[in-house]
Amino acid sequence: MKRMTFRRAIVPGIAAAALLLTGCSGEDDGGDGGDGESSDISGSVTIDGSSTVFPMSQAAAELFREEAPKVEVAVAESGTGGGFERFCAGETDISDASRPIEEDEVAACEEAGIEFTELLVATDALTVVVHPDLDVDCLTTEQLVELWKPGSTITNWNQLDPSFPDQEIALFGPGTDSGTYDYMASEVVDPDADEPATRDDFESSEDDNVLVQGVAGTEGATAYFGYTYYEENQDSLKALAIDDGNGCVEPSAETARAGEYTPLARPLFIYVANTNYADDEAVSAFTDFYIENLTAIAEAALFIPLSDEEYTETQSALEGIGS
């Protein structure tokens, strides 16, 4: 049921996008917006930002290409922080982000006179994985914090819980530049610090495949990364359920959408520059298309689509840009 309402086929999606276009844009583009033909629109859309969200925007661009072949969409992946830097310098139209924009970035945008709108586009379940032979199935949030907090001295699983096996822990994690690390540090492990961090004595790599191999090949190893990397490597990894006070919850599309997989279900965003949306037909057509087909795009990019309520919120945020 839910699926049916959300998984719009592309053609009706486009029609809806066109409708939305004509609906929001008052007199400024009433002339060409009237017929609702997005295939006539030309122009360019520049996107940069998180490498986690990159496949999403890439899929959106690919789908949009079939509908509006004259619009040139370029998607880069400088990372969430790097993306905001360019976004607030006015170089990009849309910024992908795997975390909400930070205060200093907001300040930079304000200084440059760039107003933006945050759109929630998908959910990712940060997945804590361990070597498949390890006899641990569930961690409480406290134990996770205990394990990863800065200066943590835990080196053996049985230090976390006496019932856990006597096995040395090998830690793997994403590099400190990644939004994944930022999320773990600022939302889970160290939320109160000025500069949130995790412990630093872990093997880090910007390439999550390296983390997968590291955990799969090291007894007692653990790591955390985006859900898709676990999904694609289920044979060689074991995902831990997380107990945030309401019992152990396995990471999955269902639990993340239902809001049960806390605190590791993290939101993924795109940020749209308001002026570019209002003035540039290509940007507004692309953004509308993106949001209209959000479920299809998220599924194509192997992300967890938004729940109904979240989707409605995103839609109203989009409608708010024009006004």
Q: Which of 28, 35, 91, 142 binds other proteins (CB under 8 A)?
A: 91
Q: Which of 15, 25, 43, 76 binds other proteins (CB under 8 A)?
A: 76
Residue 35 or 207 having the CB closest to other proteins = 207
**Angle, vertex CA 278, rays to CA 277 and CA 280, nearest 5:** 65
Beta partners for residue 304, in sequence order:
123
Q: Site mask, other proteins, residues 267-296, x = CB under 8 A?
A: ------------------------------
Q: Is 183 in the site for other proteins (CB under 8 A)?
A: no
Q: In the complex, what is the shortest distance from the CB of residue 45 to other proteins, in angstroms, rounded to a whole number?
A: 10
Q: In the complex, what is the shortest distance from the CB of residue 118 to other proteins, in angstroms, rounded to a whole number?
A: 21
Specify whether the CB–CB gap between 124 and 266 falls below 8 A.
yes
- In this structure, what token pair is assigned to residue 157? 């699983």
Residue 43 or 100 having the CB closest to other proteins = 43
Token pair 């909400």: residue? 100
Q: Is 226 in the site for other proteins (CB under 8 A)?
A: yes
* Collapsed DSSP state (helix, strand, coil) of residue 137: coil
Q: Site mask, other proteins, residues 45-74, x = CB under 8 A?
A: -xxx--x--xx-xxx-xxx-x------xxx
Neighbours of 320 (CB within 10 A): 11
CA 116/CA 195 separation, integer angstroms: 25
Q: Is 38 in the site for other proteins (CB under 8 A)?
A: no
DSSP per residue, 177-215: TSHHHHHIIIIII-TTSSS----S-SEEES-HHHHHHHH
Where b means 16+ CB within 10 Å and e means fewer, 5-33 reads ebebebeebbebbbebbeebbeeebeeeb
Q: Is 301 in the site for other proteins (CB under 8 A)?
A: yes
CA 21/CA 140 separation, integer angstroms: 47
Q: Is 209 in the site for other proteins (CB under 8 A)?
A: yes
Q: Is 124 in the site for other proteins (CB under 8 A)?
A: no
Q: Which of 8, 38, 77, 131 binds other proteins (CB under 8 A)?
A: 77
- Would strands 170-174 and 203-205 be described as parallel, antiparallel, or unpaired? parallel
CA 193/CA 301 separation, integer angstroms: 33
Q: Is 220 in the site for other proteins (CB under 8 A)?
A: no
Q: Which of 17, 21, 53, 75 binds other proteins (CB under 8 A)?
A: 75
Q: Give the residues lining the site for other proteins (CB under 8 A).
A: 44, 46-48, 51, 54-55, 57-59, 61-63, 65, 72-78, 82, 86, 90-91, 206-209, 226, 228-229, 231-233, 300-302
